[in-house]
């Protein structure tokens, strides 16, 4: 009986010291990762929000998540959190069509609406800056409230319109 008790104490000491050493090593690695992830700049950020699109008599609402990493832009768009979302990947120099995005969300064709495209980098700049007022004929209205993280600034409410298509963007989080 005495022999088993000593082996148990030795095993318990070995396991607890191993867990302590592993726990300390894991904490230091996690601390480094979180420090690098919490420093957004113009090349890396995530913007979450909601949108309202109206064209003619149709109106659609949903949510979006834009994740920018250097020159790659990931756009996730969905109607609500219970339904599947659409995911798009763009490089900064690629063109985006608001008409194609609305058709993807609504499963309807906007036959009378012209397919005007803009660079995705310009669309992201509209969402994160206020110095762009009328690119390519789009009318843009900014509200005074804004979300600020380091050098980035995103207005909480942005209204974009052109040729009867109205897009209202409500930014919720910027990180």
Distance (Å, rounded) from C-alpha 112 to C-alpha 101?
15
Phi then psi for 105, rounded to 5 degrees?
A: -75, -40
Query: Ranked by mean pLDDT, which of 33-37, 93-97, 132-136 comes out on top?
Result: 93-97
> Would you state the pLDDT for residue 114?
65
**For residues 8-15, average pLDDT:** 80
> Would you state the pLDDT for residue 133?
63
Phi then psi for 172, rounded to 5 degrees?
A: -105, -45
Closest to 66 (Cα-Cα) out of 167, 165, 154? 154
**For residues 3-29, average pLDDT:** 70
| 120 contact partners, CB below 8 Å, separation of at least 6 | 73, 75, 90, 91, 92, 94, 95, 96
Quick one: pLDDT band at residue 72, thresholds 50, 70, 90? Answer: very high
- The lowest-confidence range among 10-14, 114-118, 135-139 is 114-118
Quick one: pLDDT band at residue 161, thresholds 50, 70, 90? Answer: confident
**For residues 24-30, average pLDDT:** 50
- What are the structural domain ranges in the chain? 1-38, 44-174
Distance (Å, rounded) from C-alpha 60 to C-alpha 5?
70
Helix or strand or coil: residue 99? helix
Is there a contact between 93 and 118 (Cβ–Cβ < 8 Å)? no
**For residues 5-20, average pLDDT:** 77
Helix or strand or coil: residue 1? coil
Residue 63: exposure state from Cβ atoms within 10 A (0-12, 13-18, ≥19):
middle
> Would you state the pLDDT for residue 28?
46
Q: Is the pLDDT of residue 20 over 50?
A: yes
The answer for 128, left when phi > 0, alpha when psi is -120 to 50, beta otherwise, is alpha
**How much of the chain, in percent, has pLDDT values that exceed 90?**
7
Question: Does the domain spanning 44-174 belong to CATH 2.60.120.10?
Answer: no
Phi then psi for 163, rounded to 5 degrees?
A: 50, 45
CA angle 78, 129, 165 (to 5 degrees): 50
Q: Which residue did the predictor score with more confidence, 25 or 56?
A: 56
> Would you state the pLDDT for residue 50?
92
Q: The tokens of 95 are what?
A: 């063109």
């Amino acid at each position: 009986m005495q022999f088993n008790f000593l082996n148990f104490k030795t095993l318990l000491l070995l396991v607890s010291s191993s867990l302590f050493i592993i726990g300390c090593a894991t904490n230091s690695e996690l601390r480094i990762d979180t420090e690098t992830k919490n420093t957004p700049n113009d090349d890396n950020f995530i913007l979450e929000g909601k949108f309202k699109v109206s064209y003619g008599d149709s109106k659609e609402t949903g949510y979006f998540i834009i994740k920018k990493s250097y020159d790659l832009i990931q756009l996730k768009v969905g109607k609500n959190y219970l339904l599947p979302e659409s995911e798009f990947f763009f490089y900064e120099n690629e063109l985006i069509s608001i008409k194609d995005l609305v058709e993807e969300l609504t499963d309807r064709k906007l036959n009378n609406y012209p397919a005007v495209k803009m660079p995705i980098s310009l669309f992201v700049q509209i969402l994160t800056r206020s110095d762009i007022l009328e690119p390519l004929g789009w009318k843009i209205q900014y509200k005074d409230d804004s979300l600020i993280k380091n050098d980035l600034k995103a207005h909480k409410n942005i209204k974009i319109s052109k040729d009867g298509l109205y897009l209202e963007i409500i930014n919720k989080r910027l990180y």
